[in-house]
Structure 1
Amino acid sequence: MNAIPSVDLQDFVSDDPQRKQKFITEIGNAFEQIGFVALSGHFLSDALVDDLYKEVKNFFDLPQETKDKYEIEGIGGQRGYTSFGKEHAKGRKEGDLKEFWHFGQYVVDNPKLEAEYPDNIIVTELEKFNTVGKETFKMLEKTAKYVLRALALHLDLDEYYFDEFILNGNSILRPIHYPPITTEPKNAVRAAAHGDINLITLLMGAHGRGLQVKNHEGEWIDAIAKPDQLMINVGDMLSRHTNNKLKSTIHQVVNPPKELWGTSRYSIPFFMHPISEMPLNCLENCVDDENPKQFEDITAGEFLHQRLIELGLIKE
C-alpha cells in the first residue's frame, strides 16, 4: 500500500446500514494493512480548529521563561509544558526537535481517577487557551469513541466494547511546536521513527510534508491529510490487544528541505488512552493456529509505565 486511505465518519453515524458497514470495512481493512487512515466527517468545527491553532501559536510565542514555569517536575511530562529536545524516541539518545504542551483528561464522576491523574495546568496569561484546549479534547475524544465502535464491530465484538475502558481514560491532547531549524541537526529529526503507545491517535495538522509512515514493504510514504481531515493511526495498545491484527505502524516527522528550515511546524495529536485497569490481553477471536498469541498479558497502566521509562520521561 503506497497511499493512506480516506474514510468519512459520517458514513458510520448515518442511519444507513450499508454506509455504516462501508465505513467499518474500509477502516478495518486500512488498519490491518497499513495502520493509518485520513478521516473526514469528525466532530471538530472549522471555527474550533482555527481557534485552537491561534491559541497554540500564542502559547509557544510566549517568552521562554514564561513557558518554563509551566514545566512541572515529577509528573513525567503528563501535563503542562515540555521544553525543546526533552523527549526522544525509544532506542534513541538524541532529543526530538520539538516543544509541546499536554492537556489531560477532564474526569467525570470518578474521585479515584481524579486523584490518580495529575491536574491540568492553567495558563494564566492566555485564558482562551485553556477553554479551547478542553473543547478540542472533548470533540476528539468523541470522534475516537465512534472510531473504536467501528473497530469493535470489525473485530466481531460488541459495538460498545471499548466504551467502558475509554470513559475517563488517561488520554492526552498534545499541541506540538517544531521550531525553525537554525543549524544542521546532529542525528536529530523533528520526531524520530516510533510507534505510538496508546489505543489510537488522532492527528491534526498533517497537511504538509513531514509525517511519513513505513508500509509493510519497509518503504517510507508521505502521510498528508486534507485540511478538513484527521490522520488516525493504531497504537501499540490496540495492536497488542488484537494480537497484531490491527497494525501499529512506525512513523516519523522528518526535517524539511533546507529552504524551509526557517519555518515552524505545528501538529496536534490526540492520544486515546484507556483507563489503567484495561486488560490488553490478546482477544480470543484474534488468536488461532495460524496466528498464535504473540504477547504476554498486561494491563494498560503497566504497559504505559514501561514505555514512559523507555522514552526517558520517567525514571525506573
Structure 2
Amino acid sequence: MTITTDDAIASVSLNDADTDPQGFADKLGRSFEEYGFAIIADHGISQELIERAEEKAKAFFALPEPAKKRYALAGQGGARGYTPFGIETAKGAKAHDLKEFWHVGRDLPEGHRFRAHMPDNVWPAEVPSFRDTFSELYATFDRTGLKILRAIARYLKIDEDYFADAVRDGNSVLRLLHYPPQSEPTGEHIRAGAHEDINTITLLLGAEEAGLELLTRDGRWIPVSPKPGELVINIGDMLQRLTNGRLRSTSHRVVNPAPDRASKARYSMPFFLHFRSDYLIEALPGTVPAGEQPKWPPITADDYLQERLREIKLA
C-alpha cells in the first residue's frame, strides 16, 4: 500500500520490500529524486523499544545542567556524549539552533582500523539502562538502514548488496534531540536552521510533532508529517555526491512551534547512517551524462565528514 501527501512524498510500508521489491524501490527512489524524503511504516523497530528510548532520553535531558555538562567532551566535535544548548549552527547561518543533543556512536574493538575516527561512547550513570537501550536501538537502526539501502541500490540498478560493504563499520551516529519549550520570543533563532545532512541516509523517529519542513525544487517549504511511530528517511550529502545529484540531499529545517504548542518540548531521534571512513565517494558509473564531468570531485567519507563538521561549528 502506498499513500502520498499532496506533494507526493512517498509513504510506503517496509513490508513491501519483501513482497514487491521492485515496486517498493521505485516508489522510494522516485520520492528521493524529487523530494529527497520518504516516510516508512512497518519498519520493524518495536514500539516498546521506541517508547523505552524516549523515556530514557527525556530522563537525561531533565537532569540539572551541571550533570549534563559533565558529559560534554572537549575536542571531539560533539561526536560522543552531550552537546549543550546553543552550540550547533546551520552551515552559513549566524543564529545557533534551539536544541541540545546526545550522540551514541559505533563501538569498535581495540586495534580496529577506524578507532582513530570513532571515539568510545560515554554513558550517563544517572539514567538506568541508558546504555542497553540505546545500544539496542543503534543496532536496530543499522539493520533497518541497510534494508533501505538495498532498495536504493535496486532503484539505481546496481548490485543490491553494493552498500553492505560501503557502510560496514561506518561512522554512523544516533542522536537524541531535545528542543526545549519556548516561553519568550526567540528572535532569529529557530529549533533547527535550514540545512542538508552530511551522511548517507538519515532515519528519523519522532517527527510526528509538527515542525519538520523540507524545501521543494520550486522553493516552497512543505511539512513532513509522518504518523506516530513511522520513520522519516532522507538522503544525505554523501549519497547525493555518490549518485552525482540524482538522489537529492534536500534542505530541511525544524521551525518554532505554533503558540498553542510553544510550552511543549520536542524530542526526536535521528540515526545518521554513514559510509565507512575510508570509503571513496565518487560518482557511480552511469550517473554522469556522456561528455560531462562529475559535479563533485572524489573524497573519502571521513575527509568529507570533517570538512562539514567544521562548517557547522562542531569541529
Say whether the fold is shared (TM-score over 0.5).
Answer: yes
- Residue in structure 1 matched with residue 24 of structure 2 by the alignment: 23
Q: Is the 8 A contact 1:3 1:221 kept in 2?
A: no
Instruction: Give the 3 Å change call, closer, same or farther, for CA 36–291 of structure 1 in structure 2.
Output: farther
Which one of 11, 14, 19 corresponds to residue 16 of structure 2?
11
Residue 94 (1) aligns with residue 95 (2): yes
Identity %: 41
How big is the shift at 1:30? Answer: 0.8
CA displacement, residues 222-280 of structure 1 (integer Å, 9 cap, x when unaligned): 00111131000000000011000001111000001123221100011000011111111
Written as runs of structure 1 = structure 2, the 5 A alignment for 1:30-109 is: 30-107=31-108
RMSD: 1.5
Written as runs of structure 1 = structure 2, the 5 A alignment for 1:99-138 is: 99-107=100-108, 111-138=112-139
Aligned partner letter, 2:105: G
Instruction: Give the 3 Å change call, closer, same or farther, for CA 290–136 of structure 1 in structure 2.
Output: farther
Secondary structure, counterpart of 1:259 in structure 2: helix
- Residue in structure 1 matched with residue 188 of structure 2 by the alignment: 187
Q: Name the CA distance, whole Å, in 2 between partners of 1:68 and 1:251.
A: 28
Specify which structure has the higher proportion of helix. Answer: 1
- Residue in structure 2 matched with residue 203 of structure 1 by the alignment: 204
Q: Name the CA distance, whole Å, in 2 between partners of 1:275 and 1:35.
A: 22
Residue 254 (1) aligns with residue 255 (2): yes
Q: Is the 8 A contact 2:209 2:266 kept in 1?
A: no
Aligned partner letter, 1:33: E
How big is the shift at 1:109? Answer: 8.6
Q: Name the CA distance, whole Å, in 1 between partners of 2:67 and 2:73.
A: 13
- Residue in structure 1 matched with residue 141 of structure 2 by the alignment: 140
- Residue in structure 1 matched with residue 158 of structure 2 by the alignment: 157
CA displacement, residues 33-60 of structure 1 (integer Å, 9 cap, x when unaligned): 1110000121210100010000000000
Aligned partner letter, 1:278: Y
Segments of structure 1 that go 5 or more residues without pairing to the other structure are none
Q: Name the CA distance, whole Å, in 2 between partners of 1:165 and 1:41.
A: 25
Which one of 3, 7, 23 corresponds to residue 2 of structure 1?
7
How big is the shift at 1:108? Answer: 6.2
How big is the shift at 1:199? Answer: 0.3
Q: Name the CA distance, whole Å, in 2 between partners of 1:150 and 1:83.
A: 36
How big is the shift at 1:300? Answer: 0.9
**Larger displacement relative to structure 2 (275-284 or 288-297):** 288-297
Aligned partner letter, 2:135: K
Secondary structure, counterpart of 1:112 in structure 2: coil
Q: Name the CA distance, whole Å, in 2 between partners of 1:115 and 1:235.
A: 23
Q: Name the CA distance, whole Å, in 1 between partners of 2:255 and 2:227.
A: 19
- Residue in structure 2 matched with residue 277 of structure 1 by the alignment: 278
How big is the shift at 1:86? Answer: 0.4
TM-score by length of structure 1 reads 0.95
Q: Is the 8 A contact 2:204 2:270 kept in 1?
A: yes
How big is the shift at 1:182? Answer: 2.3
Q: Is the 8 A contact 2:22 2:154 kept in 1?
A: no
**Larger displacement relative to structure 2 (182-191 or 95-104):** 182-191
Secondary structure, counterpart of 2:181 in structure 1: coil
Q: Is the 8 A contact 1:213 1:249 kept in 2?
A: yes
Q: Is the 8 A contact 1:173 1:270 kept in 2?
A: yes
Q: Is the 8 A contact 1:2 1:215 kept in 2?
A: no
CA displacement, residues 91-149 of structure 1 (integer Å, 9 cap, x when unaligned): 01211000000000123696222343110001111131111111111111111001111
- Residue in structure 1 matched with residue 3 of structure 2 by the alignment: none
Q: Is the 8 A contact 1:204 1:269 kept in 2?
A: yes
Q: Name the CA distance, whole Å, in 2 between partners of 1:115 and 1:214.
A: 36
- Residue in structure 2 matched with residue 170 of structure 1 by the alignment: 171
Q: Name the CA distance, whole Å, in 2 between partners of 1:152 and 1:169.
A: 17
Instruction: Give the 3 Å change call, closer, same or farther, for CA 43–7 of structure 1 in structure 2.
Output: same
